[in-house]
Amino acid sequence: MRIQFCGADRTVTGSSHLIEVNGLRLFLDMGLYTGPRDEAQRINQYLPADVKTADAIILSHGHLDHCGKLPVAVRAGFKGSIYCTPATAEVARIVLNDSAKIQQEDMDHLNRRARAPGQNALSPLYVPADIPSTLKLFRHVGYAQKTDLGQGASFTFFDAGHILGAAYVVLEWSEGSTNRNLLFTADIGRYGTPILRDPTPPPFAVEQVITESTYGNSSHGPIADVGPQLLDAVKYVLQRKSRMIVPSFAIGRTQTILWYLQKFLHDKLIPPVPIFVDSPMGVESTNVYSQFRENYDDQTNALIGSNDLFGLSHVTLASSVDESKMINAQRGPCVIIASSPTCEFGRVLHHLEQSVEHPDDLIVFCGYIPPNTLGRRIQDGQKRVRIYDRWYDLRCQVRTIHGLSAHADADELLRFLKPALNAQTEAYVVHGEVPQSEGFASRLLAAGIARATVPAMETSVDAYTTSEPKTTSVGPGKIDQE
């Protein structure tokens, strides 16, 4: 068995790993790398040799950094099956269509700018017309349903508790009379979060694990603190008849915030208040979340009974530009959830223009915001901020609520992995910046596994062989850093 690390290695984006076993070539995820334009274009054009001959792609979930390069593979000639859960198929459809539209608009804009003589026009990785041919390859597989891949190999999806439909993968195969296995965590969610079930414990100890480490050396705030902080923020704008703006991810985060607001209304902690979701992708994702009741946890099913997940009679879903513009006529009290959390693009910018200079309006960030973004400058309390082409005085109120991450932290990752680990387990730590990955590798070694590796991009390892591995080995109980 050979593993080639093709993405999200020593970084948190672009998840992809090639598994070669018993003559099969299987990709775990095919994610888009997001970062500076030139770097992203270079990395996203890269595909392992002969991707068109791969037998299958096993897709963990529908976030862009896990599914966003699927159309690139299809354009390169891949014709195999793309396995995913039914809910992931719907989420990925939304994400891929949005990604294709943004890429085409981006390249059209850049190509309208002056180019040097002889310079070729820039091309997107894919366009909206490429998406249907990708979606046709999707094959729906439910949780805990073992799927035969041929050649003595099979895989099973288990609930990862990350976003709607997210799964981790247990791959099993035989080598002669010996049974082998590998666990791919993809992204693991937190315990006790709203809407979705907790991650399903791994069914048995495994020999090999490819694990995420997004927060592998960090701790989140307690989930129990999120509700009271959000409730206090809503009560603030109710008292002042002002606006609360929540810059948010369209998938996962938006729906979690709506869940809390619905619970406040259900428990009569707040009176009915206008709530707006102003993001075409957020609106479509919210509708998809409402369709997959079988993915909800017991608390959510008990809360909503036979009603819609988000009590949509209280929520206005704004898809069109005209609907978005009408929201700005609402002076408050109201809650506006809009993309994106960095405030670098999207409809949230129009709402910020209306609110940043109003002392009673409130901007609520839900977690860490990357440096050098408008969101971070507002979060840090910079006195003046530039929105589009105008400078504004920052006079509104600003709060940050921690604990809403969809990723498990270091302790939660270890809690999840514990049933899968033993003294023979070898781990490959991916999907994390170097300090997070190395920190989690050390934690895994302390838990008693045989070896932990932090692989670099485009490296590979041969497992279950008596020959020297292709990665640099420093012996059992050590961290390998290829």
Q: pLDDT band for position 477 (50/70/90)? A: very low
Strand, helix or coil at 67? helix
**CA 107 to each of CA 100, 101, 111, 345, 465: distance values in angstroms, whole numbers, following the listed order:** 11, 10, 6, 16, 47
Q: What is the pLDDT of residue 476?
A: 37
In whole angstroms, what is the distance from residue 225 CA to residue 230 CA? Answer: 9
Q: Say yes or no: 172 and 247 in one domain.
A: no
CA distance 73 to 51: 7
pLDDT (tens digit per residue) in 302-312 = 888 888 888 76
Looking only at the bridges linking them, the beta strands covering 479-480 and 451-453 are parallel
pLDDT > 90 fraction of the chain, expressed in percent and rounded: 72
Over range 270-275, report the average pLDDT: 94
Determine the pLDDT at residue 114. Answer: 58
| C-alpha span between 471 and 469 (Å, rounded) | 5
Q: Which residue has the higher pLDDT, 60 or 403?
A: 60
In this structure, the chain runs to a length of: 482
Confidence of residue 479 (pLDDT cuts 50, 70, 90): low
55 and 138: one domain?
Answer: yes
Average pLDDT of span 402-416: 94
Percent of the chain with pLDDT strictly greater than 70: 94
The pLDDT of residue 482:
45
- Tens of pLDDT, residue by residue over 449-461, are 999 999 998 899 9
CA distance linking residue 345 with residue 446, whole number of Å = 43
My answer on whether 412 and 396 are in the same domain is: no
- Helices 253-266, 280-291: axis angle to 10 degrees equals 60
Structural domains of the chain, count: 2
- The 3-state DSSP class for residue 318 equals strand
Taking each continuous run of H as one helix and of E as one strand, the counts in the chain are 14, 23
354 with 432, same domain: the answer is no
Domain region containing 461: 2-218+406-480
pLDDT at 465: 53
Q: Which long-range contacts (CB under 8 A, 24 or more apart) does 461-469 make?
A: 461/2, 461/3, 461/428, 462/1, 462/2, 463/1, 463/2, 463/3, 463/207, 463/208, 463/426, 464/1, 464/175, 464/180, 464/207
Closest Cα partner for 199 from 162, 169, 145?
A: 162
Q: According to the model, what pLDDT value does residue 473 have?
A: 33
Of 331, 365, 400, the last residue of a domain is: 400
Q: Provide the phi-psi class of 403: left if phi over 0, else alpha when psi is between -120 and 50, else beta.
A: left
Taking a C-beta distance cutoff of 8 angstroms, is the pair 6, 17 a contact?
yes
Q: Given this model, what pLDDT does residue 413 score?
A: 98
pTM: 0.90
DSSP string, 211-269: E--TBTT--PPPGGGHHHHHHHHHHHHHHHT-EEEEE--TTTHHHHHHHHHHHHHHTTS
Q: What CA–CA distance (Å, rounded) separates 404 from 132?
A: 33
d(CA 94, CA 235): 33
pLDDT at residue number 115 = 62
Please give the residue that has the higher pLDDT: either 123 or 136. 136
Whether residues 462 and 362 share a domain: the answer is no
- Residue 410 above 70 pLDDT? yes
pLDDT of res. 368: 77
Q: Is the pLDDT of residue 480 over 70?
A: no
Helix (H) or strand (E) holding 277: strand 275-278
Same domain? 263 vs 186: no
Looking at the structure, do residues 96 and 128 belong to the same domain, yes or no? Answer: yes
Per mean pLDDT, which range of 71-75, 104-108, 342-346 is the poorest? 104-108
Contact residues for 371 (Cβ-Cβ < 8 A; gap 6+): none
Q: How confident is the model at residue 224 (pLDDT cuts 50, 70, 90)?
A: very high
E strands along 343-433, which residues? 362-365, 384-387, 390-393, 397-400, 426-429
Residue 328's pLDDT is 84
Residues 197 and 63 in one domain: yes
Place of tokens 């023979």: 424
User: Do 447 and 337 sit in the same domain of this protein?
Assistant: no
Flag whether pLDDT at 229 surpasses 60: yes
Bigger pLDDT: 46 vs 362: 362
pLDDT at 313: 63
Sorting pLDDT into bands at 50, 70 and 90, what band is 110?
confident
Q: What is the pLDDT of residues 165-216, one digit of tens each?
A: 999 999 999 988 899 999 999 999 999 999 999 999 999 999 999 999 999 9
pLDDT at 470 over 80: no
| Judgement on whether residues 182 and 294 belong to the same structural domain of the protein | no
- The predicted pLDDT at position 467 comes to 39
The reply to whether 195 and 227 lie within a common domain is no
CATH of the domain at 345: 3.40.50.10890
Structure confidence at residue 397 as a pLDDT band (50, 70, 90): very high
Domain boundary among 400, 420, 440: 400
Q: What is the mean pLDDT of residues 255-267?
A: 93
Residue 33 confidence (pLDDT) above 70: yes
pLDDT of residue 70: 97
CA–CA dist 359, 307 (Å, integer) = 37
User: ∠ CA 469-473-478 to the nearest 5 degrees?
Assistant: 140
Cβ neighbours of 407 (radius 10 Å): 21
Kindly report which listed range (45-49, 187-191, 390-394, 419-423) carries the lowest average pLDDT score.
45-49
Closest CA to 180 of 4, 477, 426: 426
CATH number, residue 465: 3.60.15.10
